[in-house]
Structure 1
């Protein structure tokens, strides 16, 4: 039972008790019409009170019942004294005690205010009995009928004003949100332009210089290293192109986040963790990869996330732990993927310039990415001076669900979930 129903029930019970008290207090029962008289008046009052239960649903019907009852009470005084009204000395107000609540409800809840005011006018006319002008009766009649209706008009106007202000506030909030979205879109486009102009220019120069070194060098080892540097630069340009596209159009992030196996994405076959391991080995990092289980059970989004975790971990090893050995363990289970990357303590001098490069938010971005797919992530130093990264990912995550969840988060979380390369320092 709702709050309104409880209030109406209490109101009905109170008015019924009040009607019984008034009937006995005014001399009930009387000798006139001993068979029907006082009982008929009390029954009519109770009927009008019980009808108040539906005053919020059918307010005009309730007011109509109260008005008809008032007319019948007035007629009974002249035609059958003592039948419906116990006091027939002319000083009483011959309307039901439920009339004020009926008039108030009709003005507040009715969708046809004109009909409500017509019935209220008839009820007020019967209550004041202007054909028998009496100040006490007229004042009492207005107080019991017109004043509740005016109060209802005030409440209805106040409710309408509150609704209008609420709608205006919601509209302003929506407009503000749209303006913020537009500002974010413009900022993304600006960032995309900056990245394209600055980063692409520098990386392109590195690729060209590496290619030139490969051509002019007579040392086969130098030529091989130059070719590896040129290939890495080309791959960086390809990933940067994807990221710039995400910044310009967030919708393209769906393909980037879940585009495992697609063009420019990360696959679970040749273009997977083994590629990262070989790249690290090529620059002198001892990496051991251990994979167990069926890789095909993991969804594209999970494979992409695992790839980024290993990529970030190996990047951090190259920057912060030169000379250390790394072990990458991946176990594919029926319902989850367990991933762990451990490295030993560094044995070489850390390059301060290389270590200080980046934003320092790579692990934080990884945690956000893992949480977006419903996984767990932990990282920290080891007792032997090394470092470890551990994550447990669900085997299957729909791409669309991941994108929706990332879009509902914070701005940093959205961009991190949208662009996998943004997690790297």
Structure 2
């Protein structure tokens, strides 16, 4: 079965569509043989040939196959068109209406005056049976669409996990490098400094020229080693990633670059006082950064609005995003990002709010008191 499925997937779309057209035409020819009128043959030709365009215009192709179901006892062309429509749209009422149309067209007889002359109970039974048959391709098309959504979401989840693993690895390396830098600075550098000091004292106190020269050499080597150690400490601290002790902390001037690099359609409005403290600027920046990260993870395809504001007594920022335009998967989260933002807000004697919006989006707001002059 897996071999057949792989072979089916390797077929180009035009080959599949051409095969469907041929089968639909054969189905219509068998039903019209010996009793078809020119109108019936024209409807059969139009409905069968339209399957070539079913991927681009699924609704129009389905409507073109309805006369075939009305004039003759065919099943392939309407079912193929209905399946394609179900696999390409999420409009459930539209799909239900199309299934009803297909069942009605397949149940009625042409001319319509003869449709109600027979046993109406049998006509009703036939309609229910045909309706169930019409819903089968609809359900299968929706199932295929859901499978594609799940596959895409699994890819997004795997990419998110890879990104988180990379971030965790960087964090661990940064922590180890920072610890090593502290050890080198606090222990090794201190010991080398003592050696240099003792060598300098020996150079001054020694009376033997050879001893003085040896002490001078030791002092020089110790000073050079101390410079090398300080340089190594600087490199270790700077190579721990973006968030290191030596990296300049972000300010409000970096907001535009943050938004530009976020990959989200974002608008920035408003402004904050020019004399806002550096701590407050970092808090505003981290709030916007965390909010845009959450939008990228949990609301794919959404737009965001960043609004800076202030009045006589307070200042803050509000980040609001629209509802996602693509399906999302509920990912496990410990909400450490929001907890960290709340702690930053409390350091400013402010508050942080995070809540969904009535339109299906999300809003994060920071409000802090202005510092007295």
TM-score, reference length from structure 2:
0.52
1:100–1:38 CA distance, 2 compared to 1 (3 A): closer
Q: Deviations over 1:75-99 (max 9, x none)?
A: xx5xxxxxxx4xxxxxx35x6x222
In the alignment, which of 72, 79, 103 is matched to residue 124 of structure 1?
A: 103
Q: Unaligned stretches of 5+ in structure 2?
A: 1-7, 109-114, 243-373
Shift of 1:218: 1.7
* 1:184 corresponds to 2:173: yes
In the alignment, which of 9, 22, 31 is matched to residue 27 of structure 2?
A: 22
> CA–CA distance in 2 between the matches of 1:221 and 1:234?
20
Q: Determine the structure 2 residue equivalent to 1:142.
A: 132
1:99–1:8 CA distance, 2 compared to 1 (3 A): farther
1:218 is paired with a residue whose SS is coil
Q: Deviations over 1:249-272 (max 9, x none)?
A: 21799xxxxxxxxxxxxxxxxxxx
Q: RMSD over aligned Cα, in angstroms?
A: 3.2
> CA–CA distance in 2 between the matches of 1:252 and 1:209?
38
Q: Deviations over 1:369-410 (max 9, x none)?
A: xxxxxxxxxxxxxxxxxxxxxxxxxxxxxxxxxxxxxxxxxx
Q: Determine the structure 2 residue equivalent to 1:69.
A: 65
Q: Determine the structure 2 residue equivalent to 1:217.
A: 206
> CA–CA distance in 2 between the matches of 1:226 and 1:161?
73
Q: Determine the structure 2 residue equivalent to 1:51.
A: 53
1:197 is paired with a residue whose SS is helix
- Counting matched residue pairs gives 224
Contact 1:128–1:142 under 8 Å retained in 2: no
Shift of 1:190: 1.1
Contact 2:170–2:240 under 8 Å retained in 1: no
Q: Deviations over 1:103-132 (max 9, x none)?
A: 222222225454344333322332344976
Contact 1:211–1:227 under 8 Å retained in 2: yes
- 1:370-389 to 2 correspondence within 5 Å? none
1:70–1:247 CA distance, 2 compared to 1 (3 A): same
> CA–CA distance in 2 between the matches of 1:181 and 1:188?
10
Q: Unaligned stretches of 5+ in structure 1?
A: 78-84, 86-91, 254-425
| Larger Rg, first or second structure (1 or 2) | 1
* 1:208 corresponds to 2:208: no
1:23–1:156 CA distance, 2 compared to 1 (3 A): closer
Q: Deviations over 1:159-202 (max 9, x none)?
A: 32333343334323323332332222122111111111221122
Contact 1:16–1:46 under 8 Å retained in 2: yes
Contact 1:70–1:123 under 8 Å retained in 2: yes
Shift of 1:27: 5.7
2:33 is paired with a residue whose SS is coil
Shift of 1:230: 0.9
Q: Determine the structure 2 residue equivalent to 1:105.
A: 84
> CA–CA distance in 2 between the matches of 1:68 and 1:14?
18
1:72–1:39 CA distance, 2 compared to 1 (3 A): closer
Q: Deviations over 1:333-364 (max 9, x none)?
A: xxxxxxxxxxxxxxxxxxxxxxxxxxxxxxxx
- 1:19-418 to 2 correspondence within 5 Å? 19-26=24-31, 28-30=33-35, 33=37, 36-37=38-39, 39-52=41-54, 55=55, 58=56, 61-71=57-67, 74=70, 77=71, 85=72, 92=73, 97-110=76-89, 112-129=91-108, 133=123, 135-136=125-126, 138-140=128-130, 142-143=132-133, 145-250=134-239
Shift of 1:233: 0.8
